[in-house]
Amino acid sequence: MIRAKLLQDLRKALARARFLPDDFTVAAETMKDGSSVLTVRCRFEADYYLTATIPATQGAEIRGQVSPGAISQVEAYKVSYWQYLMDQVQQWVDRVREELSATPVAREFAAHARELEELIAKHAAIGDGYFTKEEAEQLRSRLDEIEAQLRQHLEQHSTDPKATEVKVNAIHQDVEVLKDGVGTLKKKNWATAATVRIANWLRDPENRTIIQSGAEIAKRLLLKSGE
């Protein structure tokens, strides 16, 4: 059985990254060999957990699993002392916070990606040929409009001019690649290149405040005026 003082240490380790100790469930089970199995689980997301098998023999290694891990979703670990286990707990709690914060953005990004893929598939009739000269000029013009809109929004809402300059330059490079591509790539391949770059723009929260969805841009690029 794990001592009450050690469980108190555990609660303190859980109280970080804006979490309260009671945001987690803690279960401790004593096994037949005298070892204890500790399981800590996030109440908000059952897939986020930490386990630790604590041997009855003093000085023996403590082994367990964490989800999320430092790199993989699930990782094994081992430590020599209880205090090192508390370090593992604190690192795990920080990762749980990062994952919970990132999940809504990931869901939104996935939804944008699906929307773009559906739009491209819907308009597969654009064919596998090359753009006509007129179509290429229309696309270049629309790309210039979108770049100007994004640049204006970023500059008007900037709190870090240097970071904004980097973002503006990155968007400009993407637009130039797409403008060059309308004259060299087949329609389907160009649409794929455009989709990748639109999705990348949507990764930036500042861009998502002006772009409701990737499909919004794709429609402006892929559909003819009036469609």
- List phi, psi (to 5°) of 167: -65, -45
pLDDT score at 226:
34
Q: What are 203's two structure tokens? A: 């990764």
Q: What are 189's two structure tokens? A: 């391949």
Cβ proximity of 88 and 54 under 8 Å: no
Give the DSSP per-residue string, 109-130.
HHHHHHHHHHHHHHTGGG-SSB
pLDDT score at 147:
87
CA distances to 18, 59, 98, 139, 149 from 135, in Å:
53, 73, 44, 6, 21
Among 62, 66, 63, smallest CA distance to 47 is for: 66
Indicate whether this model's pTM tops 0.75.
no
pLDDT digits (tens, 9 = 90+) for 85-134: 999 999 999 999 988 877 765 566 566 566 656 655 655 555 678 888 98
Q: What is the CA radius of gyration of the chain?
A: 26
Spans of the chain below 70 pLDDT:
104-127, 205-227
pLDDT score at 190:
84
pLDDT score at 216:
61
Residue 62 forms beta bridges with which residues? 79
Instruction: Quote the DSSP letter at residue 212.
Output: S
Question: Domain segments of the chain: what residues?
Answer: 4-98, 123-222
